[in-house]
Chains A and B, each alone.
Chain A
Amino acid sequence: MHEVRTAPGSDSASAVTHEAVPALEAHDLTVAYRKKPVLYGVDVAFPQGHLIGIVGPNGAGKSTFIKAVLGIVKPESGWMKIFGEPAETSHRRIGYVPQRESVDWDFPVTVWDVVMMGRFGRMGLFRRPKKEDREVVADCLEKVKLGSLAKRQIGNLSGGQQQRVFLARALAQESDIYLMDEPFAGVDASTESAIIILLEEMRDSGKTVVVVHHDLSTARDYFDSLMLLNMRLVAFGAVDEVFTPELLQKTYGGRLTVLSEMALKSARGKGEARE
């Protein structure tokens, strides 16, 4: 359990502005694929410096939500703001970890090359990587413990290592907010705990980290706040407030899988124990 709830910076002079400006704000966000709505009128504001999980059943629009924020899919209506500025002009301020299956891992590039791509937003079209960029890349590789594999072609890595490559690439963007699409998918238990420790460190240094997550049984332990999503926003708030049987039931509807039922039961158990 992670009891740290206070946003870093809340004790500093800038606390007022930090709390006033959400890291990410969406208003009446509606997204449709081929005229079929996937997200419907979502209003949400993520505070800065939190580790936030987005949970919901398959097809709930979790990935679509972050893709809309990133400008990868165009919303039908609504607006989004990143640190108070229109999202359309702030995409490059967002560190992004896409789903692992979204790329061809036979692509002839090395771990180092991929992480360096995280610097391209800062480099623009014409600049070449400088010493500073190389230092950041080396540093990010160390953070995810891939330093020794820098020269490896990315196909010759395990699933967990590939996921860490994406994580390092996002770190190399040096953003203040990170959106991650299922960073724990296909990852072994030890990598998963290494990643969550890294995410907590990022949160503790003031970053806002948003993670699409499909495993209800760990969601409670991993995140400070949860966004429960099923086409519409079911709830957003601190884990203790929203990880309740009623809200989870509402999120997952009648379509609870065996596993999520188990998680629900354990949530109930913990809830009762607390009372």
Chain B
Amino acid sequence: MSATTRAIILGLAALALGAPPVFAERIGDIVTTDPGEQLVKFLTFSDPGVRWTVLAAVLLGAACGLVGSFIVVRKMALLGDAISHAVLPGVALGFAWNMEKDAVAILTGATAAGMIGALTIGAIRRTTKIKEDAALGIVLASFFAIGICALKSIENTGRAGNISGVNHFLFGQAGALNQSDVVVLAIVFALVCLFLAVFCRQLLAASFNGEFAGVLGLPVRWLDNALLLLLTMVIVVSLQAVGVVLVSAMLVTPAATAYLMTDRFHRMLSYAVLFGVIAAWSGALLSFLRTDLPTGPFMALSASAMFCIAYLFAPRQGTILRWLRRLRRERRVREENTLKAIYKVLENRDFDGESVSFEELAQIRREPVETAQTRTEFLVHTGEATVDGDSIHLTPPGLQRAREVVRNHRLWELYLTNEADYAPDHVHDDAEKIEHILGEEAVRALERQLDFPETDPHGKPIPTV
């Protein structure tokens, strides 16, 4: 990011924060039907309600990214999902506390319920032969069911005028966030940052190899439970924006995307925060444009879209790039096989004459003449051969590479027969593969090991380059 862009963004933020503080109860209250007008409102922060939503989305995305990174590398992703469902009875309890939407009461109740759910999973696993996945399923479903019943009954008492509908908790409505929600979110985010700033290293060690960390005397169980508590709190504060059903998408998907992009944990953390913020922000934007739709699916979709892009294009893990690299390798192997075949034709004639006909190439490759012609076109393209009527000429770089490939092949055959006790008729197939990937350094080592041999196990001369 250039200094100018950064300055512009900072300026915009300052402008937004400098605007007179008018607090709307909820964004959803500001009813505007024109999406274009809404978009302008969202992007210019001219609507004070927007500020809370955007701030909430950024905090939520960042917190989910940080905690999610640990969840993903520890293979606890499904536990996140189970906890997000298990907090629901606690949400209901928080409401029941004084029959209104008290952010602190809800946070306390829901966190307690989530922790009880997580500990129940552990207890089922420890005391029976039931494994983690089934334990997760049981707790997830039962806690969720209790939560739905409790919330519905509170709604049905009719005294719950201030309760945003149960649906908000199921599928999320970022617009329903108010100032106190954002304050609670900010506190939880600060807790996560503080905890990681102090214990990140030790928590990582405990996550990588808990038994070893325990032997070192690190309080592994304490660290694990602290992470579990933070996870639950992050889930709870994300609940209203993303919803019970999809909060695990915000926890898992940005972190998993980051994991595809890098194999360094600190980089994974920053990527996960970035992707989480983008997903949450764009989810909030979309839901602002369509206030009739829940926010959670938008956030999840935008996180998933980023995952798809990383899945296809990530530098090392991306499937498209991997596929392209494989195609390029295969094409090179094909070209080198053509070079080798041309060299063999020349060798069979004791290098009498420099050109080879398509007929001869086809014959030695045991394939139709048309195939030989297509093969040769690739070499012409790389500048390793020229075609004059029916005759193929190897250019100097082409001849050089042909000699290298044949040398690699024969050296490897000799190595396998001499040093690895392979029978001479067992070595060809292996050499066919290795000849394309043997580097100069390995070739030097082989030559030294074999004392600069002149012929292969079949008596053919090993070309010098």
For A94, list chain B residues within 8 Å (CB): 215
Q: Are B262 and A102 in contact (CB under 8 A)?
A: no
The reply to whether A120 and B201 contact each other, CB–CB distance below 8 Å, is yes
Q: Which residue of A lies closest to B75 (CB)?
A: A104
A interface footprint on B378-411 (CB within 8 Å = 1, 0 otherwise): 0000000000000000000000000000000000
With A92-B217, A121-B216, A121-B217 as contacts: A109 and B204 at CB distance below 8 Å? yes
Q: For the complex formed, measure the closest distance between the CB of A151 and the CB atoms of chain B, giving whole angstroms.
A: 9
Interface residues of A in 11-52 (CB under 8 A from B): none
Q: Is A103 an interface residue (CB 8 A)?
A: yes
Contact A153 B264 (CB under 8 A): yes
- When distances are taken between beta carbons in the complex, the residues of chain B under 8 Å from A185 are none
Interface centre among A96, A120, A153 (most CB of B within 10 A): A120
Is B263 an interface position by the 8 A CB rule? yes
Of the residues A103, A128, A155, contact of B209 by C-beta under 8 Å: A103
For residue B265, CB closer than 8 A to chain A, the reply is yes
The smallest beta-carbon distance between A124 and chain B, in angstroms, is 8
B216/A92 in contact, CB under 8 A: yes
- Cβ A72 vs Cβ B213 within 8 A: no
Interface: B198 (CB within 8 A): yes
Q: For residue A98, which residues in chain B have a CB less than 8 angstroms away from its CB?
A: 209, 211-212
Tell me whether B211 and A102 are in contact (CB under 8 A): yes
- By a CB distance below 8 angstroms, the chain B residues around A91 are 214-217
Residue A108 interfacial (CB < 8 Å)? yes
Give the CA-CA distance A121 to B214 in the complex, in Å: 9
Partner of B208, one of A92, A96, A103, A153: A103
What residue in chain B is nearest A95 (Cβ atoms)? B215
Which of B73, B215, B259, B264 has the most C-beta atoms of chain A within 10 angstroms of its own C-beta?
A: B215
Instruction: Determine whether the beta carbon of B213 is less than 8 Å from that of A117.
Output: yes
Instruction: Please indicate which of the listed interface residues B75, B208, B209, B212 has the most CB atoms of chain A within 10 Å of its own CB.
Output: B212
Interface size on A, residues (CB 8 A): 30
Interface membership of B54, Cβ < 8 A: no
The answer to whether the Cβ of A64 comes within 8 Å of any Cβ in the partner chain is no
B215 touches A108 (CB 8 A): no
CA distance A70 to B263 in the complex (A): 31
A71 lies within 8 A of chain B by Cβ: yes
* Contact (Cβ within 8 A) B212 A96: yes
- The answer to whether A109 and B265 have CB atoms under 8 Å apart is yes
* Interface residue B199 (Cβ < 8 Å from any Cβ of A): yes
What's the Cα separation between A67 and B215 when bound, in Å? 10
Docked-complex contact A92 and B215, CB < 8 angstroms: yes
C-alpha spacing A91/B212, complex, angstroms? 10
Asked whether, in the complex, the Cβ of B218 is within 8 Å of the Cβ of A125, the reply is yes
A114-B201 Cα distance, complex, nearest whole Å: 11
When A104-B75, A108-B73, A108-B268 are in contact, do A120 and B208 touch as well, CB less than 8 Å?
no
B208: chain A residues at CB < 8 Å are 103-104, 107, 109, 114, 117
B198 surroundings in chain A (CB, below 8 A): 125-126
* Interface residue? A173 (CB, 8 A): yes
- Would you call A120 and B216 a contact (CB within 8 A)? yes
Q: Give bound CA distance, A120 to B205, whole Å.
A: 8
A104 to B214, CA, bound (A): 17
Residues of B within 8 A of A107 (CB): 73, 207-208
Report whether A72 and B216 are in contact in the complex, using a CB–CB cutoff of 8 Å. no
**Contacting residue for A71 out of B201, B215, B218, B259, CB 8 A:** B215
Asked if B219 is an interface residue, CB under 8 A from chain A, the answer is: yes
- A72 close to B263 (CB less than 8 A): no
B216 touches A110 (CB 8 A): no
List chain B residues, Cβ under 8 A from A102. Answer: 209, 211
- Residue of B at shortest CB range from A179? B215
Chain A residue nearest to B259 (CB atoms) is A108
Bound complex: CA A114 to CA B216 (Å)? 13
Q: Which of B210-237 contact A (CB under 8 A)?
A: 211-219
Chain B residues with CB under 8 A of A128: 201
Residues in B whose Cβ lies below 8 Å from that of A104: 73, 75, 208
Tell me, yes or no, whether B202 is within 8 Å of chain A by CB. Answer: yes
User: In whole angstroms, how far apart are the Cα atoms of A120 and B200 in the complex?
Assistant: 12
Q: A107-B208, A108-B265, A114-B208 are in contact. Are A125 and B215 (CB under 8 A)?
A: no
**Judging by beta carbons under 8 Å apart, are B264 and A173 in contact?**
no
Instruction: Give the residues in chain B near A121, CB-CB below 8 Å.
Output: 215-218
* B268: chain A residues within 8 A (beta carbon): 108
Q: How far is the CA of A54 from the CA of B217 in the complex (A)?
A: 25
**Closest beta carbon of chain B to A247's beta carbon, Å:** 31
Residues from chain A with a CB closer than 8 A to the CB of B205 are 117, 120
A208–chain B nearest beta-carbon distance, Å:
16
Cα(A107)–Cα(B199), bound, Å: 18
- Which residues on the A side are within 8 Å of B209 (C-beta)? 98, 102-103, 117
Q: Which of A72, A109, A125 contacts B211 (CB 8 A)?
A: A72
Count chain A CB atoms within 10 A of each CB in B199, B201, B207, B214 and give the residue with the most.
B201
| Interface contact B215-A120, CB-CB below 8 Å | no
Q: Judging by beta carbons under 8 Å apart, are A72 and B264 in contact?
A: no
- Chain B residues with CB under 8 Å of A117's CB are 205, 208-209, 212-213, 216
- Quote the shortest CB–CB distance from B125 to chain A (angstroms): 13
How far apart sit A70 and B215, CA to CA, in the bound complex (Å)?
6
Known: A98-B211, A117-B212. 17 other contacts (CB 8 A): A71-B214, A71-B215, A91-B216, A92-B216, A107-B208, A108-B73, A109-B204, A110-B264, A113-B265, A114-B208, A117-B205, A117-B213, A117-B216, A118-B216, A121-B218, A126-B198, A155-B263
What are 16 contact pairs spanning A and B, CB under 8 A?
A72-B214, A98-B209, A107-B73, A107-B208, A108-B259, A108-B263, A108-B265, A108-B268, A109-B208, A109-B265, A118-B216, A121-B215, A121-B218, A125-B202, A125-B218, A128-B201
- Can you list the 8 inter-chain pairs with the closest CB atoms, starting with the nearest? A121-B216, A153-B263, A92-B217, A108-B265, A117-B205, A108-B263, A96-B215, A103-B209
